[in-house]
Structure formats: C-alpha cells, structure tokens
Homo-oligomer: A and B are copies of this chain.
Amino acid sequence: MSKRKPIEYAKTSPAVRAVFDDIKTRRKVKDVNNFWKYLAHDPATLKRTWESVKEVMADGALSPLVKEMIYVAVSVTNRCRYCIASHTTSARKAGMTEEMFGELMAVVGMANETNRLANGYRVPIDAAFD
C-alpha cells in the first residue's frame, strides 16, 4: 500500500489549517486542491511550498499568465500529469486563450526537439553567446 489519502479540511491540525485557510483566502476558492491535501501529510513541506509558490507566482516583472505558461512548459517537458492539468487550468484562469495554448505547445515541442539536435551534433557554444 503506497497510496496516501488526501487530508480533508475538517481533519487538519491547526498548522495545516492555517495554510489551507491562507490558500482559500488568497485564491478565493472554497476548498484547496488535491496537491495541498497530500502535502498536508508533511506540514513543514506544505508550509514551505505554499510560501514559496506565493512568492514565486506573484505578479512581478512577469505577469501571472506568463508564469503559469512557463509552469505548463516545464510540466509538459517533465510529463507531470497532475501539474499539466492543474496549471493549464490556472493559465486559462489567468487569461490563456486556446490560440496561446497552441503556440505554447508548439514552442515546447520545438525546444525539446532542438535541444536533442544540439546534444547529438555536439554543437559548441558560439563565442557570442558565452
């Protein structure tokens, strides 16, 4: 048995509940998504991850939309099914259109292809890029 169960709000310890409450307030959602309910098995990682996500994904030099699309690009490259599903949803909420999604996938596909062409041909870095 390697599968855990999600920890639901009603059964959280005070430390976990404080994080869940902050997620719900910030994101204006009624319940937190499964990712947090599973991380709740380790309250220290739950708290550290949420604090980091809040800081990293905040509006800044890059918009939340661009950040969510970068998240999708990484998750697709790594094939994390959960993260592809959740961050595609977040990117849409942040304004990603179907056309943007198509272009995002096209760039991700092309980068994964040319990464391997550069590896296989053992291309040395140009002085201009170094």
A85 to B53, CA, bound (A): 27
Q: Which residues of B contact A34 (CB under 8 A)?
A: 123-126
Q: Interface of A with B (CB < 8 Å)? A: 1-4, 33-35, 38-39, 41-42, 44-45, 48-49, 52-53, 55-57, 60-62, 66-67, 69-89, 92, 97-100, 102-126, 128-130
A29's nearest neighbour on chain B, judged by CB, is: B128
Copies of this chain, tallied across the complex: 6
Evaluate contact between B122 and A116: CB separation under 8 angstroms.
Answer: no
Query: Could you tell me if B80 and A118 are in contact, using CB atoms closer than 8 angstroms?
Result: yes
Given contacts A52-B52, A74-B112, contact A105 B92 (CB under 8 A): no
Report yes or no: B111 in contact with A79, Cβ–Cβ below 8 A. no
